[in-house]
Chains A and B, each alone.
Chain A
Amino acid sequence: MAARTILHIDMDAFFASIEQRRNPALRSRPVAVIGRGHRTVITTASYHARRYGVRTGMNIYEARRLCPQIVFVKANNRIYTDTSRRILAILEGFSPKIEPFSIDEAFIDVTGSTSLFGTPRTIALSIKKRIREETGLGSSVGIGPNKLMAKLASSMQKPDGLVLIEEGEVRSVLERLPVERLCGIGRKLAGRLNAMGIRTCGQLADCPAGILKSSFGMTGERLKLMAQGIDPTPVASVEEQERTRSVGHSITLPRNTSDTKTLKAYLLRLSEKVCSRARKHGLAGTRLILTVRYSDFHTFTRSRPLPCPTNDTRAVYLHALRIMDSIELKKAVRLIGVAMDVLARHLCQESLFEEDRRRTDLLRAMDTVNESFGEFTLTWGTIIESRGETGVISPSWRPTGARNIDET
């Protein structure tokens, strides 16, 4: 593969920084953004708050104990998603190869852009400047020969950082780096590696491939490549990521519940979200996947094939209900999600039956109204009460496309 230059842009304390821009009274104070509803977990803390040990995922009681003067702000998801779109629009001015990684991170392949915009460092500085001018927000940029190294570089100097890892420096940078610093090696995996006596990327790179393969299967081979700083995965746009895959939507409930009626209402809401998006993009699902997360964060999925490819809300909802009925809930539910594996595209075969055609016309009419006047303007009576609720932004949020998961 020819040499590449990849940038990873990582916004600094994204949600908290936006709140501090929005409200001048917060600018000199430690701030933590928390979920809406009755959620009390911190989604982002400002750098001021982090100095006291406040971290993402911590509950507000713990944060308050560490930093008594902290200010909690409830999340404003619509502002965050719009800001993310504006930042991606800035990146599009530098290269067509952009991969949103989450709401506040993106990769950009600038291999072909240097003749137009200067060296990778110049491009990185220009991007940081444009983001600050247009949003008032700070960002950190990592530059590397691939996505893995660019992501590592952006984490090495924060906030307002700019780190370049040249191809020739990769080995020395990784030699003593703890394995868990690499994107893709989580706490569990790092624990297993540590138990084998592997703590640094250098040790992982030196470990015989056979041992890694026997311990981790296919992942073992990839781990060895990662430890050597090798990552051939391309920067894939949202559209490229979506060529297959699934359409899904999940919501963290305002409060944990075991109430069947409430859960059914959310299932219908999620089914409508997933199906209306599938209809918009001419997709039909072939398998339905239901995700449930309990109050203790234990998460599991159940899936079943759909009888025929569909994007009809009622069919998907009834199928989701059947899956739900087969589950014996052991705890209150914190999060629920509906997703469809998509194999059929541009499904346009007309049904032979009058009733089916009328349903298709009805859904088309609903979609047209909701497209013009906003989602859930025309919807089922059982979900009217919950249509204005917002949830937590999913890590898989993307700004466009069928996978666009817009919790606003």
Chain B
Amino acid sequence: MDSKGVPINQGKKLKLSLTIIFMCVVASLPFFYLDVNIVEVMTSLPKLIRFFIHNFLPPNFSNLRAYMEPVIETLLFAIVGTYISAVLSFILGILMSQLSPNLVIRVFIQSFVTFLRNIPVLIWASLLVFVFGIGNIVGLIALSLATVGILSRMYAESIDEIASSKLEALTASGASYLQIILHGLLPEFIPAWINWTLFSFEINIRASAILGTVGAGGLGILIQTNLNLRNFHEATTLIIILVVMVLMTEMAISNIRSRIYH
């Protein structure tokens, strides 16, 4: 060894420098292109806060009773939507996994689900509003479609994992396809099923708030309407309700999760 000792990095310094420069360029380019003045953004922040405090506070709780119905509606639609997509996704998940009875079906379902997944829930809702008109049913269908897109894929991954390690014995014993699904796959799949479904329920509760903005029912439509009518104090109340609802859902779900695994 020479006097320099042992270098602790093998790589070249040049590569690191180039990486840092590249990252800085990528970060700053959009500001120039979109003509966003970062100083302006920063200085307008106090103005925003002042506007919010002045217009939105204090929340107006006088209509609280009237809000309960859309709150319950939102919850129920999220629940129903999650149930529907959990069942549909299980079937689709099997059909797009290695347990699929047929390669053509498998590829077809995989593409179909990818298609569903890559259209955001808001776009689904905007499209469906034209078909069904404004209302809760649009939110329900939009949520279900988007959730099926996500869940089917998650389920399929879990199913593949089980199929490749645990179902050989049932196949070897002469069990039929449906028996393998029922007696082999289903019991092993239940924890993953519950887990992914709870995960999507959480997303659905949040999503149902956004859906209202395109007229797809629920709590969101009230928030949107009150904002448009400049009833800011009522809107604040609704936003608080939404946050509480999401928090309570999260708590309930983490509670269920810990009971499943411990």
Do A and B pair up? The answer is no
